[in-house]
Structure 1
Amino acid sequence: MTKSAAIIGGGIGGLATAIALGRGGWRVSVHERSQALPETGTALGLWPGALAALDAVGLGEAVRDSACPQVGGAFLRPDGSRIATIDVTAMRRQSGDTVHLLSRPALLRLLAGALEDGVIEWGSQVEDVAQLEGHDVVVGADGLHSGTRRQLFGDQHRVRYVGATAWRGTVPGHTDTVTETWGAGLRFGITPQESGRTNWFAVARTIEGARATDDEVSELRRLFADWHDEVQRVLDALTEHEVLRHDLYDLAPALPSYVRGNVALIGDAAHAMTPDLGRGACEALVDGVELARSLLEHDRVPDALARYDAVRRRPTQRLARMSRGLNRVASARRLTTLRDLGVRAAMAVSGPPP
């Protein structure tokens, strides 16, 4: 008998799970509350592990063809001097691949295009997991403020504000390298994006829910007024309607399991983390493919879900702790000289986490 899965959420992790299960002969439905795929969004860094997950669902080469490979990178000070270099060649030697940068809308289009018509049920809001009774498995892929997580584990496992807000967007013009500039309580990142655009993000420590008194572009130009020329190039090109702003959250306390009954959580629903390591979308992809692999390799669903939890919970919770720690270090307002020396030493010894 064909097994069935209902997936709550048509984001990156949910769609990857649907593709992998569908390729394995499962009957799959994806319940997405939005009416259509998003048309705007900024670049995601797809690390080698995420690219391997995309290879497993037949999309790795299409993503590499569409994305911008990272060919260099550095951490900088506000005056443009270098704190540390990101050794891209070392990553390639270790894993055989490098980070590829692709916008969220472009990745979602590739994922959705790999599914048959009708698999994604647009405008489908699932208020209660019980609505999906009768499926062999239900997958909670409903993001940061997951209703599925709350229903399974209660309000004690909720996202918490980490003390910082982030702006992001894109501007015209191509850049080859990835830079992240660290000041006192402020950061500014610049990366490539497909179609010859430059992706950027900015982070500042502030109270939760704070917004600019006039407009966000003016606020950004004030905060980063004396930073180096590349930051100024981006700031000069900003338009208000293209600037997104979101407070940053992660999940605390961590979940005791990613599984309850026949329901499994993936992505931000399971392990919401700050964006400091650039791994949120990557781990959602790996979650989805590993969950599907477990379900395809085990006859009994409880055995498959137990394996998924055993394989994915510890490494993703470790990454969430690392990302939270990096957020605190990178956003420090004091002792920034010591911080920069520590970052240089850490990069020289081990580089970024694989």
Structure 2
Amino acid sequence: MTVLERAPELGEVGAGISIWPRAWRILGDLGVADRLADGVRPAIQAGLRRPDGRWLAKVGPGAADRIPVMVHRARLHEALVDALVARDGVEVRTGVKVGGLADLDTLPGEPADLVVAADGIRSTIRHELHQRDDVRYAGYTAYRGVTAEPVPGEASTTGGETWGSGLRFGWAPLVDGRTYWFVSANRPAGEVGGDHHADVTALVGDWHDPIPQLLAATPPSAVIRGDISDLRLPLKRFDHGRVVLLGDAAHATTPNLGQGACAAIEDAAVLAAQLDGHARIADALVAYDRIRRPATQRLVRASRLVGALGQVENGALLKARDAGLAGLGAVAGLLSR
């Protein structure tokens, strides 16, 4: 197996990433999960709040089996790379730019029996296969950061999201003790530059605790910003002869459900299982598409809906949204008791 990486060296930047139970089990089977967690996941109270701190819905600390493990993206990447290069028969080539399928035939070695295109939301392979512009701007941008050190007090025992008018703040303790946070704000596409830390402070710096403390504990250089996009529906086929799409190249979704990375992990597990269970690669790829495309299409649609609700700005709709969330939270609390 040969892995082609466009970057000159392996590495990852970013902030926190959520790994839900099903994907965590897959990482456990690969021997990767043990390298990510320093110990027992913290018991936190999470849910939805308003900017003044009033809870709209709660998830109690006893729900550890129903909430994700939060790790730093760079740490997950490092663990996966280490597990990959430790395997016999795996070659990793960095600094290789693939502009299209024809480029693969010019590389040294025998032509590949199978091409797995995991080249992200702006996949050149997907564009070559489908010949359409699949990327759709969601209407909002996201700021992300990680505190330099653990923040004591409420920041280490709570999590979740706070929804305002066209603004959301979310945070969660990472397994290494630090806290990951994000802000999503309605903005035109393509805005660049500026002081991201100052922008975030101006947007949500006067919201409830521990938001001001988390911002103060985050180095300005650690705050990144990126527009949020997903792929247009319906999603096209993931299999094309000897080529198969995986991860964001196949089904990039908005991050509102925290399932994008998990979906890619599940893709890989299903693809491996189908390749192991079919004599012909083409049959395995058809089965993979049949399993994963409907599931990921539902994920893209559901995440898009949550984002639309979270970014509401209209006053009347805001009141209706918050009232509905409060009602759902009360019902959930009764059921949990």
TM-score category by the smaller chain?
Answer: 0.7 to 0.9
1:341 corresponds to: 323
Alignment equivalent of 1:210, drawn from 191, 197, 202: 191
Given the alignment of the two structures, is residue 34 of structure 1 paired with residue 3 of structure 2, yes or no? Answer: no
How far 1:149 sits from its partner (Å)?
A: 0.7
Using the TM superposition, name which of 287-296 and 70-79 deviates more: 70-79
How far 1:65 sits from its partner (Å)?
A: 4.5
1:311 corresponds to: 291
1:271 corresponds to: 251
State the secondary structure of the residue aligned to 2:28. helix
Given the alignment of the two structures, is residue 152 of structure 1 paired with residue 129 of structure 2, yes or no? Answer: yes
How far 1:243 sits from its partner (Å)?
A: 1.0
How far 1:347 sits from its partner (Å)?
A: 5.3
Alignment equivalent of 2:18, drawn from 34, 38, 45: 45
Kindly tell me the number of residue pairs found equivalent between the two proteins.
318
How far 1:292 sits from its partner (Å)?
A: 1.0
The one-letter code matched in structure 1 to 2:132 is D
How far 1:88 sits from its partner (Å)?
A: 6.0
| Closer, same or farther: CA 44–320 of 1 in aligned 2, 3 Å | same
TM-score normalised by L of structure 1: 0.83
Q: CA–CA distance in 2 between the matches of 1:130 and 1:36?
A: 24
User: Where do residues 226-237 of structure 1 align in structure 2 (5 Å cutoff)?
Assistant: 226-237=206-217
Q: CA–CA distance in 2 between the matches of 1:347 and 1:185?
A: 21
Q: CA–CA distance in 1 between the matches of 2:40 and 2:126?
A: 32
State the secondary structure of the residue aligned to 2:36. helix
Alignment equivalent of 1:101, drawn from 55, 70, 76: 70
Q: CA–CA distance in 2 between the matches of 1:69 and 1:283?
A: 24
RMSD, aligned α-carbons = 2.2
Alignment equivalent of 2:146, drawn from 170, 177, 182: 170
| Closer, same or farther: CA 276–207 of 1 in aligned 2, 3 Å | same
- 1:159-183 CA deviation, whole Å, 9 max, x = no partner? 1111000000111224233221100
Using the TM superposition, name which of 260-269 and 220-229 deviates more: 220-229
How far 1:215 sits from its partner (Å)?
A: 1.9
Q: CA–CA distance in 2 between the matches of 1:309 and 1:70?
A: 37
State the secondary structure of the residue aligned to 1:222. helix
How far 1:346 sits from its partner (Å)?
A: 4.3
User: Where do residues 52-91 of structure 1 align in structure 2 (5 Å cutoff)?
Assistant: 52-65=25-38, 68=41, 71-87=44-60, 89=62
Gaps of 5+ in 2: 106-110
- 1:77-106 CA deviation, whole Å, 9 max, x = no partner? 1011101012564572xxxx6411111111
1:130 corresponds to: 102
How far 1:121 sits from its partner (Å)?
A: 1.2
Task: Work out the percentage of aligned pairs sharing the same amino acid.
Answer: 38
- 1:13-68 CA deviation, whole Å, 9 max, x = no partner? xxxxxxxxxxxxxxx11111112233542111100111122133232333345684
Alignment equivalent of 2:242, drawn from 244, 262, 279: 262
Given the alignment of the two structures, is residue 291 of structure 1 paired with residue 264 of structure 2, yes or no? Answer: no
| Closer, same or farther: CA 34–88 of 1 in aligned 2, 3 Å | farther
The one-letter code matched in structure 1 to 2:212 is Q
Q: CA–CA distance in 2 between the matches of 1:66 and 1:125?
A: 39
How far 1:151 sits from its partner (Å)?
A: 1.0
How far 1:234 sits from its partner (Å)?
A: 1.9
| Closer, same or farther: CA 216–98 of 1 in aligned 2, 3 Å | closer
How far 1:323 sits from its partner (Å)?
A: 0.3
How far 1:196 sits from its partner (Å)?
A: 2.3
How far 1:219 sits from its partner (Å)?
A: 1.6
- 1:287-343 CA deviation, whole Å, 9 max, x = no partner? 011111101111111110011001111011101000000000001012222212323
**8 Å contact from structure 1 (residues 189, 202) kept in 2:** yes
State the secondary structure of the residue aligned to 2:84. coil
How far 1:126 sits from its partner (Å)?
A: 1.3
Gaps of 5+ in 1: 1-27
TM-score normalised by L of structure 2: 0.87
The one-letter code matched in structure 2 to 1:132 is L
